[in-house]
Structure formats: C-alpha cells, structure tokens
Structure 1
Amino acid sequence: MRVLAALNNSDSAPGVFLMVAALAALIVANSPLGEGYHALLEIHAAGLSVEEWINDGVMALFFLTVGLEVKREFAVGQLNRWSLRVLPGLAAAGGVVVPALIYVALNAHSAEGLHGWAIPTATDIAFALGVLALAGPRVPLSLKVLLTAIAVIDDLIAVVIIAFFYTAHIEMLYLGLAAVITLTLVALNRLGVVKLTPYLLLGVVLWWLVLKSGVHATLAGVVLALTIPLQGNKVSRQVRPLETLEHGLAPWVGFLVIPLFGFANAGVSLAGLNVEILTQPVLMGVALALFFGKQLGIFATIRLCALTGIAPRPEGASWWQVYALAVLCGIGFTMSLFVNLLAFDHPELQQYARLGVFIGSLLSGVLGWGLLRFFSRRSAVEH
C-alpha cells in the first residue's frame, strides 16, 4: 500500500508508466504478436473500434483533466496573475511557432504532408516531468514550475488548434444540441450547484453530441472542465468541486488512460526501417521540429524576455539549466500522437509521423536529462 501511495504522489510515476506502455507496444508490434495486436485494435463494439473507443472515448478523460488543470492554474495556481503568465505564455508560443515553421519548411511541397504541421505542438507533461525527476534533486524548483506552466499553456494551444484546424465536417444539429448542453452546464455553475453528479451526467451526453457533430469528441472533456465550479458553498461539504474531480481523475488518467493510449498508438513496425525512410519529409519534419524547433523557440524566447526586461530568468537556475529545460520540452509524445491521428488519414503517413515523434522525443529526453544532470551537479559544486 505504501508503494501505491508513493506512486500516486509522484509526478514522475505517470511518465514512467507511459514509457513502459510505449516500449511494450513497440515490442509487441515488432514480434509475432504484432498481427494480433493490430487485429485487437480493429475489433468493433457499439459502432466504434477498440482503437476509436480509446482515442475518442477514454481520452476524453485526459482532456477533461487537461481542462481542469488549465482552469485551476489560471484561477488559483501558478498562472493566476498576468505577471506569472508572461514568461511561460511567450515561451509556449515560441515553442509552437518555431516547430511549426520547421515542419512546414520541410513539407512545403506536399499538401497532404502539410496537414501535420501541428503534430509537434505540445510538450508531454507526464514524460517531461518524469525525465526532470530522473535528473536528480539538484534541479531548481523554478524549472519544474516553469516546465509545468509551459506544458499547461501549450496543451491549451493544442486544444484550440484541434478545435479550429482539425474539424473536417460539422453536423450543425448535433453541434447546436451540444451548445444547449454547454449552456445548461454553465447555468448549473451560475446557480451554485456544486455536486459533481449532474455535471458528469451531462458531460456524457455532451461527449456523444460532440462525437456526432464532427468536432473531435475529446474536446467535450475540455468544455465540461471549464464549467466545473472552482469553489463550493458554505452549505456543501464539498469545498472545491474542481479539485475534488481533478484529484479523483488523476490516478486513473496517469496510470490507465495515458498508458492505454500510448500502448494503442505506439505500436510502430520497425521492419524495413532504413536511411531512405528516415529522410521522409513527414518523419524528418516531426523529429526535427520537436528536437530543434522546441528548444530553439522556447530558449530564444526566454533569453529575449530576460534581455528586454519582460521577465527574469527562473530563480536559482543557470542559463545552461534553462536550455536543458527547453530541450526537454521537445518530448511531445501523447498530444503529438493524438494530433497525428487527426492530421492524416493515410496509415503510411501516420506511421512516418509516429516514428518522427519517437525519434524527436527520445533525442530531446536523453539530451535534456544529460544536460540537466550535468549542469545541476556542477552548479551545486560551485555553490
């Protein structure tokens, strides 16, 4: 029981579970079990395949958690004032724009390839915090705070991108009904209803309507999250409904939802992998955008903010440690794989993009960990 409690309270544990799930998927997909692995994902139930239930259904809980975290951070957390939002906000923007430009430059000749421009958008917070924890206790707390804030903001940017750029066809009737449910949720909030049950029941209806509307169903999780009350009332014993739901979902999302998604989507066949495939534009675009684009966009923005006086360097951190943090932000596993599914219909392009995500994330994780460990140790010796 103590081990389970320790895992539940560890920021790095979900990242470790995700790493194990992704590695397991790679091993299974490249073993004699590979055919059965893919066949299992194609089994249909209630109109959706197992893979679709995971990506469109179960992942709604992940997006619900993202929405809850964004709302809490902006209301009472590390982003509750504009002065605290400036540095991570600008850094996150730099970490979205530069990777997108690199990807577009490498895929400008292909209209279909350009659809993947948003794949290297967001940092995988579970993976990145896991690697940050592995770098040791000497890493300044300010870096963890900044990394979390950047990841929260670029997750929010990714959600907006999905809503506006990856919705192919809209059924207005279902979208209108979804809007009615959303207004009902807002009304419950305004009326002071703090019990979670009506919100969650309406959230299930909202998910189904959004799924039928053509907008990606997981966005219903974000919409629901934004309507959950932050504060309770004096009569109710449930003081903070939002935090109650967030804490209740966290272990399920960290130890089941995200690893399950990773296992279902990381099963890339490495058969026939060669230099020619590694130079394929989609693969190169994703890998280089994550590895070079993220670190360049984020570090250059933080450096510029310090030089212009917009925001100071994170307290207690050297510039080398800040650079290592920027490198770690190139770990874009969960959201990158998710956007990949929306960006491409062609299985071959999805395969190339997955390989690009693996390569870019692996390089970012290894280099970021090495730099953080080395320069944090050296900083401790100097002081």
Structure 2
Amino acid sequence: MRTAHQYRLRLTKLQQATIDQWLQLARRQYNYRLAERFNWYEENRCDINACPLICHLPKLKDRPDFYSQKRDLVNSKKLFPEYKNLPSHTLQDVIARVEKTFDRWIKGDGNGKRSGKPRFKGLGRFRSIAFPDPIKPEHLMGRFIQLPKIGKLKMILHRPLPDGFKIKTTAITKKVDSYYITLSLQDSSVPLITPDSPTMENTIGIDVGLKLFLVDDAGGEIAIPQHYRKSEQRLKRLQRSLSRKKKGSIRRQKAIKRVAKAHLKVNNQRKDFHYKTANLLLQQGKNVAHEKLNIKGLAKSGLAKSVNDAGWGQFLQILSIKAERAGLLTIGVNPNGTSQECSHCGQKVKKDLSVRWHSCSCGCELDRDQNAAKNIKYRAVGHSVLNSLGNVLELSGSHQEASALSVLR
C-alpha cells in the first residue's frame, strides 16, 4: 500500500539557502515552459466560427509536450549554468507539472471536467520540489536522509517509519514556519484486506452539517469546533496591521509572515480534528456511508465561510484513506431527499432548513440529521424502507396502519 509520511526538517543555513535557490529556479522554469505552451496555443488555434475566408496560413509549429521540453533542458543549462546544480529529475518533474496543469485546462480530467487557465507562479508561490527517484536503504540513516546534490538532511521523527517499506518518491515543501519532507512509501507491512459488502450490520451512516459536524444513524453527535470563527478577530487585527505597512518594506514582510502563521495554525487545528474524528468513526470497525456533496458549489454560496471552516472535503478524503488502510469502505450516496424522506416509512415530509425535528404521520419522531443519517445508510446498503413495512404495520393504532398501506399503493 502506498502511504505518505511528512516530517519536519532541521536544516543548516547553507541547506536552507540551497533549497530557496532551487525553488526560485524551478519557479522560473515552470513559468518559461508554461509560456511556451501559451504561445503555441495562441499562434496555432483558430476559432471555427471566426475564421476568415481568405487568410495566410503560417507553418504550424510543433506542439510543446513533455518530451520536447525535457530535451530542451540541455539548452537551458547551457544558457543558465545555475540549473546544473539541480538534479535532472527534479527539473523534469517541473515540466511534468506544466504538462498536467495545461492538459487539465485544454482537455479536462478523466471525467472531462476542465480546470481554469493556469497562472504563472509569482515570487514565493512555488513552494515544493520533488525527487522522483526511489531512495536506497543505505541513504536513510536514522534521523538523516541523503538526497542528490544536497547531502544529508536531518528529520524530526515524531513517529517511526514502518518496517519493510520502500521510499518511492520524496518532496521538500517550504511552509511559513519551517521546511518539511514528504516520503511516499510502499508499505508492505499493511496487508491488503478485501472489504466486506455493506450490510445493515457492518455499515454506519453519517450526515455532516453546519450546526453539528456530523450525526450518525444511532444518534451520536460530534460538535463542530469552528476553528476559523474563533480565530477570526485575531486574523482581522493582523490583516489590518499588514494593510498599513509600506509595500516592499521589511516590516511588511514580517507582517505577512504573522498572517500566514495564523492561517497555518487554523489549518493544522482543523486537520488534527479531522484525523481524530475519522479515527473515532473507524474504531467501530464498520463501513461509513456519507452524502456526495457538491462542496465547491456550497463554498460559493452564502454559507461559504462556514462550509470552508468545516472542511468537509478534507475530512472525507482523510476518512477514505484511513478506511482503506483499515480494510473498510467509504460509500458516497445521492444526497437528494435524505432529509425529507422518513427513515421509518419512506414517505416525504416537506420541511424547511430551519425545521430541525422530523415528525412523520407514521409516528416516527427524531432529529432531522439522525433521520438523514439513517436514509444515507439505507441507500448505501441498497435497503428499501418499503421492505421493512411489516415492522411498521406492527405499530399500535389504525392511523399508522393506514399510513403504511398508503405508501404501498
């Protein structure tokens, strides 16, 4: 199984200066290769609805691709000798990034969804460099790891590396507080477990929200911490202080770092909460069903600040990765009508977002979010509420029986 471990680096001043120089050289190379593709695109494209009847067709240039730009790195090293200090495969990874972001704009991803037009990286906007080659076992010596053309780097091992692993790729990331190294491992100690098919017994349903972070089908609740909301006043104060500083001054650079550190703290708090919540859910040893939410659409609505503060997308991604390691499944279901349908009899009970209690004519009375979590669980396992109406008919009172029979019709 592929897994990633990130460790903080304790570097010398010379190593920090070297990494900073490499980041700037990689940024310049990224912008240059992206500009090559933009120039080719503008010179060779022709809109079919705006093409003149008589026009001079110039000789079409070859389209820049990964291999042609990779071969051109030899010329870049001749013109700019400082590029010889970078590992060759690190420079090739920069071109691979350009290839990926440009193709996402022109062609789209595997689902055909196109991304926005790529932007050039400004000063300080290129924050990571990759070392795609596998690391040999002899290059990992306790707390030290040896990388090409930079030597031994000291890591802070806050957790041990698993036994029997292989380091496939390595990346160094510069954050506002320090430098970090990410090791992509092929971990053979984690067995490949085939998850069981979801059933009513081995699956739980969760409904995420803004009032509570999530509610499961048994009624368990986890409060939403609102890390950004709690830090909002301090962030506003730091941002006002930044706006008063003169551009290009040393004081402005210090103010930018203070703002960045405050945002980094909020991000770390949120991520820590997501990991702990995912562990709490998976300790039950059951598959987890959730809604397939349009998080990007919600993040552009009037609830944008609260949605971003909750971080549903990051949480579901963490939950999916940790479930795979535990041999469990995360199942996304269609969210339409999960709050409106009764989890007991299946009929729709219309209610506004402000109505937080589900009350049905069949006698079902429970919290709105718990009702939605039950419906999510039923959809994940393919369970139909109509199949369980035999239990509904056992309820006392003729009103419940008539309601169940009306659903059958």
Same-fold status (TM-score > 0.5): no
Larger Rg: 2
Query: TM-score, normalized by length of structure 2?
Result: 0.23
**Is the strand fraction higher in 1 or 2?**
2
Pick the structure with more helix per residue: 1
